[in-house]
Amino acid sequence: MGNTETVLIVGAGPGGMEAARAVADLGKKAILVEAKGEIGGTPYSSYATLTPDLQETEEAMGHIVRGIHQNPAIDLRLNTRVVKSEGEVGAFHVTLESEDSTQTVVEVGSIIVATGFQHFDPGRETQMYGYYEYDDVITLVDAERMFKSGAIVRPSNGEAPERVAFIQCVGSRDRQIGNQYCSKVCCGIASKQSIEIKRMLPNAKVFIFYIDMRMYGFWEDQIYWKAQEEYKVNYVRGIVTEVIRKGDKLLIKGEDTTMGRPMEVLMDMVILSVGMEPSKGTLEMAKIFNLPRESHGFLQTVGGPLDTVTTPIPGIFVAGAAAGPKDIEDTVSMGGAAAAKAVGMLNRMALEEV
């Protein structure tokens, strides 16, 4: 007979949480599996504020996190991984393993994969930006940790920086390393962070070096123009080729592509806008559930722009950045859509059994 009353959701970030909440609201039971010891995913664990409105992450996501813990229709399994799957739509037998290596098998009717992304490791850029060489070269995530602590300082000496540079598209739009895609949110996050730096350090000069800025929808008005006009952030269209130490400063070398001339500028701190790649969990789920990956390495869907959540495997759906670069709005929307598809499929199967 199978189990047409239960949906397994893998990953408890924004997409997975919304999927679990929607499944419960639609009258089914949700088993929400999270490999880490807390829910909320990368935004909740790594970001001090959310783009574009700069609302504190814990405040913005807190009610959702609490709702997951308090919902009796959601069976939350923390520190748990999916290690095996057998069966088919309506009767998947999935083996879960807890941190003490105890294994249990759950029978579920459908599955939603919401395993998110990982940030690009800037060391793969052959160290032309010096991330592992220079303390004052950090990433967007490192900067968010500073914002959480309440102070933006140079790691090398603990002093407030006077000149800060963002370098865009680190690990994105790069054919040499194989990431032939835009990670979608990095321009917006850098602009948001530039505003935060100026709020904390009004006298600091902040520069964003970009290939071309990609602000979509309301972000153009909410953060791009706001950063320039209200906070005097300097946007420089150019290509950075190298970051080297010069005294106690960082020398950025490259080309100002607007002026068509070489560029060398000294900075106190450099922030690398690292892009998205498929997470380890996404790659693992692709193997366990036999899910095809599209040409960029993310999970493949079959419906094009009209169906962003259905995978080629019947009964298995995807939400969020497991399917490609997404912002939180996209991710949450996909979580709801995946839940609707999963529950709808189970309802149809239940009616056919009557």
Provide Rg for the chain, Cα atoms.
22
pLDDT of residue 208: 97
Whether the upstream peptide bond of residue 52 has omega within 30° of 0, thus cis, is yes
* 203, part of any domain: yes
Which residues are bridge partners to 170 per DSSP?
A: 274
Residue with tokens 């169906």: 307
* 1, part of any domain: no
Residue with tokens 């001339």: 261
Same domain, 178 and 267: yes
* 241, part of any domain: yes
The H-assigned helical ranges of the chain are 14-25, 41-46, 57-70, 140-149, 186-200, 219, 225-229, 280-288, 328-353
* 314, part of any domain: yes
Query: Which of 236, 254, 275 is where one domain is finished?
Result: 275
**Length of the chain measured in residues:** 354
CATH of the domain at 93: 3.50.50.60
* 50, part of any domain: yes
Same domain, 147 and 268: yes
Please say whether the beta carbons of 89 and 251 come within 8 A. Answer: no
Give the separation between CA 36 and CA 77, rounded to whole angstroms. Answer: 10
Same domain, 151 and 293: no
pLDDT of residue 28: 98
Would you say the C-alpha torsion 345, 346, 347, 349 has a positive or negative sign? Answer: positive
9, 18, 42, 207 from 163: Cα distances, Å: 44, 40, 28, 8
80, 194, 200, 334 from 206: Cα distances, Å: 42, 7, 12, 35
CB atoms near residue 262 (< 10 Å): 11
Q: Give the range of the structural domain holding residue 310, as residue numbers without chain letter.
A: 6-116+279-353
SS3 label, residue 236: strand
How many domains, in total, are found in the chain?
A: 2
Same domain, 124 and 242: yes
Which residues are bridge partners to 242 per DSSP?
A: 253
Same domain, 76 and 167: no
SS3 label, residue 195: helix
Same domain, 135 and 259: yes
pLDDT of residue 96: 98
For residue 16, which amino acid is it?
G
Give the separation between CA 88 and CA 85, rounded to whole angstroms. Answer: 9
Of 265, 285, 194, 269, residue with least CA distance to 232: 194
* 267, part of any domain: yes
Give the separation between CA 273 and CA 253, rounded to whole angstroms. Answer: 17
Same domain, 126 and 250: yes
Which residues are bridge partners to 249 per DSSP?
A: 246
pLDDT of residue 1: 61
pLDDT of residue 176: 87
**Structure token digits, residue 274:** 């690292």
Same domain, 129 and 264: yes
For 93, residues 6+ apart whose C-beta sits below 8 A from its C-beta are 85, 86, 87, 105, 106, 107
What single string gives the DSSP state of each residue in 54-74?
--BHHHHHHHHHHHHHH-TTE
Give the separation between CA 94 and CA 99, rounded to whole angstroms. Answer: 16
pLDDT, mean of each 10-residue run, the chain (354 residues): 91 98 98 98 93 94 96 98 97 97 98 97 84 96 96 97 97 91 97 98 97 93 97 95 96 91 96 97 98 97 95 98 96 98 96 82
Give the separation between CA 118 and CA 335, rounded to whole angstroms. Answer: 19
Same domain, 132 and 240: yes
Of 91, 125, 121, 123, residue with least CA distance to 105: 91
Same domain, 167 and 182: yes
Query: Which of 231, 249, 275 is where one domain is finished?
Result: 275
* 349, part of any domain: yes
**Structure token digits, residue 204:** 């600091």
Query: Which of 240, 275, 310 is where one domain is finished?
Result: 275
Same domain, 330 and 234: no
Of 343, 134, 330, residue with least CA distance to 217: 330
pLDDT of residue 353: 81
**Structure token digits, residue 252:** 């950025």
Same domain, 135 and 252: yes
